[in-house]
Chain A
């Protein structure tokens, strides 16, 4: 190659390299989570750490490093596909599901759940509402295998969750049922029982406390508590799916030596109602990455 051509070749390569380099240095808003709303979950967490210096929020530098590559982001992508795909006996997608902000509106909807729904007369959470839509829109019959909490439902929940990333938790408390469920959840939170006399408050009532090696979030610190309730999330080392709030609360009641809570029961929803209320005003981190 003669010198002129060499120069041209080098110049062309440099021209192409520059924007790629710029991209790598700055990163686009959602370079890591394509289907999350607002800024990346990691940025939300970093801002909260900066504001609070909380030992709970900052306890895992490894998790922070891994957040850019959170496998839950792929689960979210899968969930979007499943959500928009035609399915069920009626061969319809779930896109017109009403999560409380009107049919077809999903951005920010999860951050306003649990909430009362006129059409069922109940306070519902993400999982129960999604299953409701699978029945009413897609025509699945009660008892159908597809309505069980498998990876498909988890993926769709992760997707709907990601569309509330960065939104402030804001479950409505206007309807008497919403308040009743939230207050019952509060009683449950402080309710000591079973052989170890534990309540949720035993572990989550004071900031900076550790159980074994883990720093616990305090229910009295909203900027900590928002991360605590940010589910669906990927738990490091536990399967490829995104864990749901029901799985988290199941684990809690198991550790407390109490018994198996039913994830779609009103007891669980009452608990979700209270625990979301305690994170009110703080940004959701969805999907999260956890220990």
Chain B
């Protein structure tokens, strides 16, 4: 999903600089080649500023064992959807993206099961996890969540502090039911929303490894179980 680039411009510069000095060369050339921003496309310049011009602390480690560089490198889906620049997705892009997303679909062994809606409720309100930089989320200290309530309304009594970036899910299970089709649909949305909503703003909670199968099962219960507050 994330390409790893190996890049050592600093080391190369240092080596060439020392060679110059050793050879007794006259005025040592500026080891950092002056880059002309106006000769690059906007996309090229953005990549350069992010990865090559100390725009970000790209060597910082992430909780999933990669680096910030890996996080900032775009995969095919991100590149494709970024091109829209906020505009609605066109037919060709939609088809390309939904196909890409369907290919990534991984279903749990033994079939899609509903977990414990109480645990799902806690996960829906929990926005902890995966933040790096000046304040790193320590996954060994606290459970990570699905942060669903950041964007979605799920319970009527909590709408004041529920986001509206996503659609309201109040009564979601009442509408969908709990049969195999319902579970599959809800699972697909959480695992990779682009399978049904190409270039959606919603994260790929499953495909990107943000939520485990166990956590998804609990969230499915929270969404679909008739006893869940979502459906009361």
Contact = CB atoms under 8 A, between A and B. Distances in A.
Q: Are A and B a genuine interacting pair, yes or no?
A: yes
Judged by DSSP, the binding face of A is mixed
A250 B208 contact: no
Given A212-B149, A254-B131, A197 B49 contact: no
Judged by DSSP, the binding face of B is loop
A262 B54 contact: yes
Interface stretch (A72-80, A83-91, A176-184, A282-290): A176-184
B17 interface: no
Interface stretch (B18-26, B162-170, B176-184): B162-170
B68 A267 contact: no
B45 interface: yes
B134 A266 contact: no
Given A196-B208, A262-B56, A180 B38 contact: yes
Interface string B47-80: 0011001111110100010001001111001100
Contacts of A280: none
B82 A266 contact: no
B89 interface: no
A257 B85 contact: no
A197 B160 contact: no
Given A183-B42, A198-B203, A266 B130 contact: no
B165 A259 contact: no
A209 B163 contact: yes
B45 A180 contact: yes
B135 interface: yes
Interface in B136-192: 149-151, 160-165
Interface residues of B, number: 51
A186 interface: yes
A184 B45 contact: yes
A9 interface: no
Contacts of B73: 193
A265 interface: yes
Interface string A229-272: 00000000000000000000010011101111110011110100
Interface string B63-106: 01000100111100110011011100000000000000000000
Interface in A75-108: none
Nearest to B56: A259
A194 interface: yes
B13 interface: no
A195 interface: yes
Given A260-B68, A262-B56, A267-B49, A186 B82 contact: no
B165 A203 contact: yes
A208 B160 CA distance: 14
B204 interface: yes
A212 B49 contact: no
Given A259-B60, A261-B56, 19 more contacts: A180-B37, A180-B40, A180-B45, A187-B45, A190-B86, A193-B71, A195-B64, A197-B203, A201-B85, A202-B201, A210-B163, A254-B131, A258-B68, A258-B71, A258-B72, A259-B58, A260-B60, A267-B49, A267-B55
Ranked nearest first, the 4 interchain pairs of A and B with the lowest CB-CB distance are: A267-B55, A259-B68, A260-B133, A183-B42
